Structure 1
């Protein structure tokens, strides 16, 4: 399969723009990664935000204002920008740095997440992790790809593992599972798999899309955490739902799998 996109295919221009946005984001974030003068503050929810988070989102918003003035924008740091009335239901969803805690500590697992939604469904997703030298992207009907850039990309696909006992299970942390009362079910899931690792944030989902792991689950997420991930996992052949089994990015939780394990996962996490 070619790593290029048909010129007339739907979302091709949007996907190309997402790469341009990611290039801008990467140039800003990499310059601030491990910077001695990095400025870090705590938001009202006590999560950290850096000057890099803010600069990346401002730059992406500025480009979208010029190139897609009729589209809305939702970003983690600056909220919602609504286009003029009658402009339609397209909205770009931005997480300028997913994995800010890693970014602050010098851990290279962080990324810019860029999504385009039509209505309530994400149709374009791009994840750029410059410190890892890797980028993942997909759009509805285009398939999913990974590589350093579009000229050096390969199609990606989920695994064919059919039993949890043979599966590699990924998660972020156990804190949220305690709060929602599902910790016993989560521990049972981890013990039932072949291997479990807490890669966290965007990375576990990209490993699912690549077939390197088979399951990624998180109990508490915002739309900007999820929107870019869904097209990549599903276009790679996987399944992405919330804990209730709904394919809804507004569900506030995530269960991503190769699809073959999904029914078993939902049953175990909803005893």
Structure 2
């Protein structure tokens, strides 16, 4: 299996640059916010961070393709960087510190490197294929993370983003039944739910409507922490448009609730 240590180190360099850009614009009085065709917000910080990351990738990894939320797909080849410059833009524009830059590298259809940097929280998580998952401020200041050992759904903590999207999927009743069955449920939202699963603070999480750039980095971190990451249909991929993550022990229970139909 090829090693991806150099790519992981480079992902940290990209995240350092993005953090400087996004933190500088966070809570800025002159922050410019537009509405995209899908009715989601985009700020000048989203665009600036992705432009910066793309420029650095162009210089250091010119043969690699890039997929970003704001500027789409460029380049060709089996290696593709997948970028979400600010995951949690709605939080960002309202001054809520729960947002992050997501950086992933895919080799073919497999995510082999993932990094999540949440500078307003002072947190960063990362993983590379076969090397485990970690959290810390840098590669030299890191602690390995591991999913929980909770085995019963009634003892589980369940995280989600919102109730939106579940009804369109026909799974709102199942999702609500799950919130009643578990020990605790909280809408931490976006990347943070998955990182809490990876570090064992939360046991299961799910979303009904997401994109590849929302999930690629998260998927390898969860799996390298010992968890399981699939679509809501059980497909082990971040490219299906919906997602479920768990400590592995509760995954079938999670999918069972979320695939109930009225």
TM-score for the superposition, normalised by structure 2 = 0.98
Structure 2: tracts of 5 or more residues without a match? none
Provide the alpha-carbon RMSD of the alignment. 1.0
CA distance in 2: counterparts of 1:107 and 1:176, whole angstroms:
22
1:226-258: CA deviation from partner (whole Å, max 9, x where unpaired): 000011000000000001000021110010000
Say yes or no: does 1:209 pair with 2:198.
yes
Give the Å deviation of 1:151.
1.9
The answer as to 2:2 corresponding to 1:13 is no
1:14 aligned counterpart, secondary structure: helix
Q: What's the CA shift for 1:22?
A: 0.1
Alignment correspondent of 1:30: 23
Mapped pair 1:200 → 2:189: yes
CA distance, structure 2, for counterparts of residue 265 and residue 205 of structure 1: 14
Alignment of 1:1-271 (within 5 A): 10-83=3-76, 88-271=77-260
Query: Structure 1: which 5+ residue stretches go unaligned?
Result: 1-7
Q: May I ask how many residue pairs the two structures share in their alignment?
A: 260
Per the alignment, residue 5 of structure 1 pairs with: none
The equivalent of 1:4 in structure 2 is none
- Which secondary structure does the structure 2 equivalent of 1:174 belong to? coil
Which 10-residue stretch deviates more, 259-268 or 157-166?
259-268
Q: Distance in 2 between matches of 1:98 and 1:192?
A: 29
SS at 1:37 equivalent: coil
Which segments of structure 1 move beyond 6 Å, counting only runs of 4 or more? none
CA distance in 1, matches of 2:18, 2:154: 40
